[in-house]
Structure 1
C-alpha cells in the first residue's frame, strides 16, 4: 500500500505535519530523535567494547600448576 508514495507524497506529508504541529514542535522533535540516535550508537559502542574486553580477558595465558610441572622446575 505504501510502496508508491514517491517524492510528491513525502513532501505532502511533510507539509501536513508542519502545519499541524508547527515549526517549533517539529524542530524540537527532530532534536530529540537526534539525541536518541546518539545515545543508541553510544550504547552499541559500549557493548562492543565490553565484549572485546571479555574476549581479551578470556585469552590470557594460563599457568601450568600441575605437580609434574613443579617437579621439572626443581
Structure 2
C-alpha cells in the first residue's frame, strides 16, 4: 500500500493548519537546512573512510638522518 494523492493532500492541509501560512516557509527552510547538514555529514563520513585507503596505497616514506641529528645523539 502506497500513499495516494488524497493522503498527500490531507497531510499538506494538516501541516498548513498546524504551522500556518506565516511560519510554513521558515519551517520548510529549516527542514532544508537539516537535510543539507545530514547530507554533508554523510559525505564527510564517506571521505574519512576513503582517506585510510589512500594512505595504505601510498608509498612509505623513509627518514633520513642529517648531520645535525647525529651530532645531537652523540652529545647527549
TM-score (norm 1): 0.64
CA RMSD of aligned residues (A): 2.0
Distance 1:59 1:17 in 2: 52
**Structure 2: stretches of 5+ with no match in the other structure:** 62-76
Aligned residues: 61
Distance 1:62 1:18 in 2: 60
Aligned residue in 1 for 2:17 = 19
Paired with 2:47 and 2:3, the residues of 1 have a C-alpha distance of 40
Unaligned stretches of 5+ residues in structure 1: 64-74
